[in-house]
Amino acid sequence: MPVRVVLLGPPGAGKGTQAAKIKEKRDVAHISTGDILRDNVEKGTEIGLAAKSFMDSGRLVPDDVIIGMIRVRLSCDDATEGGFILDGFPRTTAQAEALDRLLDELSLHLDAALLLEISDDEVVRRLSNRRVCQSCGAIYNLVARQTKEEGACDACGGRVVQRDDDKEAVIRNRLMVYRERTSPLIAYYERKGLLFRVDGAKSGNAAMLLLESIGVM
């Protein structure tokens, strides 16, 4: 049975970590708009050029760019057949409505929207200590999850660095953007009966356990 879920929650709530845990158990497409965007920035594509200044300042990339990207990715066979975890999308009401239309076109439905709940202080603490592998995207933390060798990825040996937008001033801005633009989606999915809350301060497999408990996986 394919799993089709949306992960909601502020930056640093652990969406990427939880998605990776679900993926260990089920072969679903992990679709992270942040990762797709960073990949485009690195390759210097048109999308990357359009997105970079928004990302660097912690603002949202315009909806039409994001929706176009998701339309392409979600239509791939692995996602339509095997299921998907949307990580960092939707982030605005317009994006959520576009997702509903797209799923309609594909004759698919969402199983759940999981809200990872975590305090602002914890977000700042986590993100300022977060480091990521430039090559494979593996996530580390200076306090909670160090690399074996300093600056090198345990999984692939790639360079492990701090994202430009994980600096405190930008983190505060991302939190504000989350509150204004993304948090209305909590009510949006609540109305559809799809919202489930997960304690983001808990261990990395809380989302997976919740999906198991509601019979989605």
Active-site positions read 15, 91, 130, 163, 174
d(C-alpha 89, C-alpha 98), whole Å? 11
Q: Which of 61, 153, 160, 211 is close enough to bind ligand ADP by CB under 6 A?
A: 61
Q: Which does 34 bind (CB under 5 to 8 A by kind): ligand ADP, Zn ion, none?
A: ligand ADP
Work out how close the CB of 69 gets to ligand ADP at its nearest, in angstroms, rounded to a whole number: 9
Task: Specify the stretch interacting with ligand ADP by CB under 6 A; choose among 20-28, 88-96, 99-107, 194-202.
Answer: 88-96
Q: What type of residue is 34? A: G
145 is a contact residue toward Zn ion (CB under 5 A): no
Q: How far is the CB of 115 from ligand ADP (least distance, A)?
A: 13
Query: Contacting ligand ADP (CB under 6 A), which of 83, 88, 137, 200?
Result: 88
- Contact residue for ligand ADP among 8, 20, 60, 195 (CB under 6 A): 60
User: Toward ligand ADP, which CB reaches closer, 107 or 145?
Assistant: 145
- How far is the C-alpha of 81 from the C-alpha of 212, rounded, in Å? 20
55 binds ligand ADP, rule: CB under 6 A:
yes
Question: How many residues bind ligand ADP, per CB under 6 A?
Answer: 19
B/e letters for 40-70, b = 16+ CB within 10 Å, e = fewer, are bbeeeeebbebbbeebeebbbbebebbbebb
User: Which residues of this chain interact with ligand ADP, rule CB under 6 A?
Assistant: 11-12, 15, 33-34, 37, 54-55, 58-61, 66, 88-89, 91, 95, 165, 174
User: Which residues of this chain interact with Zn ion, rule CB under 5 A?
Assistant: 133, 135-136, 138, 153, 155-156, 158
